Structure 1
Amino acid sequence: MNVLSFLERRKLFLIPLACVFILLLLASRFSNQDGSSWPASLRSSSSTALSTSSGSNVISFAFITYGLDSAKEAAVTVKSLLMHISRPLEIHILASDDAATYLEARLALVHRPAHNVKVVFYVRPERDLAARIDREGQMWSIHHSYVGGLMKLFLHEALPPSVHRILFADTDGLFIVDPALLWDQIFPQFSPTTMLAFPYHPEAPLDDAWHGATRICSCIMAADLDRMREVRFMGSRYYADEVDSMGRVVRPVGSAIWKGTYTTGESGKIEDNVGGDQGFFYPIKQVHPEMFMDLPLSWEITSCTRTFFEIGLDISDGRDDTTEAEAIAVSKGHTGNPEEEKSLIVPSFLHFNCKDVDNIFVWPGWEDPTDDWAKRWGPTVLHYARYKWIWLNRAPKGSTTMSVSRASDLRFADEIWFEENGMPDPPRHERPKNDGLHPL
């Protein structure tokens, strides 16, 4: 009988043990924080995104919605954002209570989005927004969006310091591509002085009543809120006597510029700004171009041209094989920006402004086969408006989260400064009377 020696039997035991040890080392080498056993180069981008809930991978958005009609529009805009976003998302919404309640009910239908989503509502009465605008000292507008529109200039104060950069969009628009493309494209191009980017039409006809403000659109913006805070983009009487470390009085960016643009009444308030927030953004851009960048017009396919820059589903008789040369030739001369027209404008954000309806997404005209707007974008609008919220539950159970909350510390930055420094509150300026649509 052949009997294995003790040494031979020990070798047979050690060889498989060594193999197990080597396999464990390899597994450790390729493992990562999200528990995957694959090297990063082999993991899908969606797997990486799902495992990230904070940091540079997160896209931050901001919206402003006051009133139920605005909330119903905002619901479709936010839905379009969730339909396309390819990364974890934070959404910050300045809202009235009824608007927040409506949107919360829609968001409650989504519990496993494709990527982690965090939504924070900042619910304040309109009078609080109006009070902050009043503390600036001069601002006033007869534009129909008054309080909500002017708040765009104060987003760096309304949102907490933990929110550093945002994309902002009006609630009468649709994202039809992934907004992460805009985030990745625009912010790396910001210079050390850039704070804001929005679409620009330098050769659009001037509207004297708007003081040139029709050449820009604040309907979609990229904003570096930290830089806006550093330069004190908006003034406040609470800041009036503050000096910096060099003993210089800190001056807000816009105040002196507006005095040279508009007429002020005895109260010190501007009386002739019909352009809302754009009426204030545009003069600053003219004096401080180093603070601004131009967004590609792909992100503002606007109905205010009545033709959407001649871009839409009906172009080329509805054919899907339109060439780039054909598309460029058709849109030429319709954007007010000849440089943009030299290359293909790919529709990415559709902006349905300049139509006097409470909720553009339920406008009956979208189903009218003879209407020019309906021919151009009707099927697209109906798709997003009727897409079910429950269809946004796309991730495996337990792999992603939808977090919805209301912020508790609702103070503007100037209020915090006032509380910390104890400055006396000077007498309140009297506002000129408005048209009664926006009681303050």
Structure 2
Amino acid sequence: MAETRKASRYVVPFAVAGVAAATIGLVPALAASGDPDLPEITAQQLIEKIAASDTQTLSGTFKVSTDLGLPSVAGLADSFAGEAARGASGGAPSTDPTEMLTKLVSGTHTLRVAADGPDKQKLTILDGSDEYSLIHNGDDVWAYDSKSNEVFHEKGDASDRPAGEKGEKGEQDGLPGTPKELADEVLKEAGDTTSITVGGTATVAGRDAYQLVIKPKQSGSTVESIKIAVDAKTGTPLKFTLASVEGGKPVLDAGFTKVDFGKPSASTFDFKAPKGAKVTEGTGEGGPAEHGKSPEDVEKDLEKEFGGPGGLGGLFGGAVPGAAADGEGMNVIGEGWTAIATFDTGAKAPKTDEAPKEVQGFLDSLGDEVNGKFGSGTVFKTKIVNALMTDDGKVYVGAVTKQALVDAANAAK
């Protein structure tokens, strides 16, 4: 019953640098020797280079590999297959970007990307012989699923421009105006929790690149490092790698295997619905007309199905912020990489042995029972984000180790 959101919000150029710059500290360091041999650059200069990048046109192939350390959800998926089939006639079409893009959170996927300024972008997810494409061409936004032969079309306008995008005067509200100002802002806000260095050079998709290496200085974080390969010529991020302290495969390894910064052909962004395809026209309100449900209607359906705000209450026994009227608001303990969000749900933790067999097995594989001064509870874990739910309904969550969550719960007792 998930609401189909505007496809135009998902068809945007990759902007890894902006995300990274909001969460990192800055420690100047000279680039180490490596191959290719590039001029020395400090970390601050490289941050400025990324910020100054004005790449408007590109095309290429992008590979995304994700490993959150989660168990197989095949059995869990099967348990909901019947319900999904029963609701298919009234649910979102298979072209729903929300549903399709969530597939990228596990496994390895190949994408084709193309961009020609802010008004023309295309993203295609390849799955064997099947393709799923999102195309933004001027006022038109298309989503096409070759497997189901379904098309979603929507007309957009300037009012759909994402928050923070440059306005008529070319200014961004609340953001630094120059690369130097951005680097200075990062220095000011980051504090002493992070180390960032230039860790040598690399070749990515045939391009010479600098390696920006970001590491927490604090102990207790699940993040081992973040590496961003930055094109030496254009300043465009080419690859992003997130590694966990648990080791093994990276949690996220996403980068170009082929890239061309030339202007793509105009025909790249043309789209015509294939013969026999089912075409759904958008309402302009975030969902297709055939679906015919407002965001409020969707939320009510989810509450009816699962209980609680947004439909999450029934899945987690009310263990979400606001799921109980007497629950307390969210607080943040600590800072930087070891910050922990905590809130009181006002409800006792659910008993997993009362859940369906498939769901119970999945939850058991995710959770570790823990005890401390706070009492007892369960830590639900991934390679990056962990959450402790105590038996009396308090929740502690962050990109921190299991022990850090237990220590936080003990200290709050």
What is the TM-score with the length of structure 2 in the denominator? Answer: 0.19
Greater share of residues in strand: 2
Q: Which has the larger radius of gyration?
A: 1
Kindly indicate whether structure 1 or structure 2 has the higher relative contact order, using CA contacts under 8 Å at least 6 residues apart: 1
